Structure 1
Amino acid sequence: MLYPPLNQLTSKVSSKYLIATVAAKRARELYDKPETALLEHYHSVKTVGKALEEIAAGKITPIEPELNESEFETKD
């Protein structure tokens, strides 16, 4: 059984791709600087699992840029 469950993660972050990207980035940060841990207790031993637990707990949230219509090119 995976922890945290995917449905718990997708309730916090809308895109599975974004979950994977944020978790990978945070896992690298946890690997390089373990003192930056945001939870007192983790179920997982691996940094990716720890990052996913932080996302599920709401400690890590991605910043999604606001898109303006002017940022898109239209092809006529």
Structure 2
Amino acid sequence: MLEPSIDKLQTKINSKYTLVTLAAKRARQIQNTKMHQVENPRAATFVGLALEEILEEKLTVDPDQEIIHD
């Protein structure tokens, strides 16, 4: 089962397409920099870390689809 759940994630970002795109871009950034914004991550993967950042509202998206870190 995916954690965090898609239902919880869609309360933060309404579009599944935007959610997937944002998570993929951020996962690549985390992989390259080895830095993330989750204090106690539960995920073992870069995508999981990106999804946790979205759920904790440490990662948002602007209208131009650029990643924004809080």
Partner SS, residue 37 of structure 2:
coil
Partner SS, residue 4 of structure 1:
coil
Higher relative contact order (CA 8 A, sep 6+): 1
Quick one: distance in 2 between partners of 1:11 and 1:57?
11
TM-score by length of 2: 0.86
CA radius of gyration, larger in: 1
User: In proportion to residue count, which structure has more strand?
Assistant: 2
Quick one: distance in 2 between partners of 1:34 and 1:4?
21
1:32 aligns with 2:32: yes
Quick one: distance in 1 between partners of 2:2 and 2:47?
12
Deviation at 1:15, TM superposition (A): 0.1
Indicate the RMSD between aligned Cα atoms, in angstroms.
Answer: 0.9
Moved over 6 A (4+): none
User: Which residue pairs with 2:16 in the alignment?
Assistant: 16
Aligned residues: 64
User: In proportion to residue count, which structure has more helix?
Assistant: 1
Give the AA of the match of 2:26.
R
TM-score by length of 1: 0.79
Percent identical among aligned pairs is 39
Gaps of 5+ in 1: 66-76
Quick one: distance in 1 between partners of 2:16 and 2:56?
16
Gaps of 5+ in 2: 65-70
Trace 1:1-76 onto structure 2 (pairs within 5 A).
1-35=1-35, 37-65=36-64
1:19-45 CA distance string (max 9 Å, x none): 00000000000000013x101111111
Partner SS, residue 61 of structure 1:
strand
